[in-house]
Structure formats: structure tokens, C-alpha cells
Amino acid sequence: MDEPESCEKFVEGHMKILKVFDIAMITSANVEWFKDPLTYVIAAESTETGKMLGGARVQIAGGSLPLPIEKAVKDIDDRIFETVKNYAKEGTGELCGLWNSREIAGMGIGSVHLTRTAVCIAPQLNLKSLFALCAPYTVEMAEKVGFEVTTFLGNNGTFYYPKEDLVATGMLLHNSHNLPTADPYERDEINSIRAQLQQVKVAEGRRGPFDLHLDLEIKNRP
């Protein structure tokens, strides 16, 4: 809510991607969160042009807005409300609205680095757990950073969403602090970033190496 212009750029980029897949009705694409003090945005921007090339949001549960996953699956499985309420007692939220532009496709910005950085900042936001509603191609990366399928919801954790011919998987990271369910490599990467929230590192993508500038210290914490 401190940077409305950045929020506009985020939604503009996100909507372009959703329209390509004809899923512009997706609940995480609404703009109510612009004025939500419990929503934090991670932006992937070009160091040369400043253009926003991707992003993700972490929304904390318990504010005036329901989590996107609550809105998305409530008609399919209303147990989502009680589930979120229970996890909110120790701090929970949702990784949502993740996207990256075609300009950086193949660099791992969306699938790898934005997922990883969202988990990185969870302790700063006092979140022990994190929910996510994943498209099939993001489930594997979510599992690497410690998310597990919410088999107790929907059809063994899956839902037809955002339309009948698409399947989304509900996922939950139970312990964002110690990451006991994360792949050891990912756990080490996340812990190294947490130890130095501002750094430049060489990252590898399918298109070759690139410099990744990280600045993940949250000044206006909840």
C-alpha cells in the first residue's frame, strides 16, 4: 500500500500473463490488496530499465481480506476457512499472485527465485506457515522449498480452478522457520539469503547465468 504505482505495474504484468491462458478471473488477480496493510509484494525488476518483469505477493491472514485460496476454493470445500483460522493462531498467510513476463522466461525468476524469496521473508512477517494454490508446473518447486499438498482439502488436495479444465493444487508450508520438509539444497539457499538479505549473487537459468540483486529486508513489518 506504500507504493501504489508499483502495485499498478504488478497487476498490469500479471493480467497480461493470465489473459494468455484465458484465466483473467483468477482470485489472486483482484486489486483489493492495493490498500491492504497485510499484503507484501516481491517485485522482480530489471536493474537496467527498472521495468517490472515478475512478482509475487505474500498476504497475511487475519486482516480485512480473506486469503485468495479461501475465496478460490470456498464453494468446493468450505473447510478452508476453519483450516486457515487454525493456522493463523501461530501466524499464517499465502504466497499468491506469482507471475513472470515472457522476457525472462527460462531464467527461473518466477518458478524458483520468487518462490524461494517468498519463503525467505515469511519469518520477517511472523508467519510460521504459508498456504499456496499452485498450477501443475509450480507444484514441484513449491515442494522443494518445503510446501506439502493439502490432501485434507478438496479432492486429495486438488481443485478444478480457475475453470473446469484446469487443476490447481492446494499446498501448505507448515514450518517456514526451520523448513524441515524442504530439499536440503533449497534450505541452504534460503538460509544463506536470510543471513544476508541484501546481496548480489550469480544465478543459473536455462538461458545461462545472470546477476541477481536481492533486497529483501522489510522495513514496515507487521
pLDDT in tens, 108-140: 566 788 999 999 999 999 999 999 999 888 899
> Cell numbers of 97, please?
499472485
Mean predicted lDDT score pLDDT of the chain: 88
Residue-range domains of the chain with CATH: 4-215 (3.40.630.30)
What is the predicted pLDDT for the residue at 4? 87
Is the pTM for the entire model greater than 0.85? yes
pLDDT tens sequence across 23-79:
555 555 567 888 899 999 999 998 888 889 899 999 999 999 999 999 988 988 999
Higher pLDDT, 5 or 88: 88
Q: Which residues contact 219 (CB under 8 A, 6 or more apart)?
A: none
Q: What whole-number distance in Å separates Cα of residue 185 and Cα of residue 208?
A: 20
Q: Across the chain, how many H-helices and E-strands are there?
A: 6, 9
Q: What whole-number distance in Å separates Cα of residue 2 and Cα of residue 15?
A: 21
Q: Count Cβ atoms within 10 A of the Cβ of residue 92 and give its class: 0-12 exposed, 13-18 middle, 19 or more buried.
A: buried
Q: What percent of the chain has pLDDT over 90?
A: 56
Q: Which residues contact 186 (CB under 8 A, 6 or more apart)?
A: 116, 144, 145, 146, 179
Q: How far, in whole angstroms, is CA 164 from its chain's centroid?
A: 23
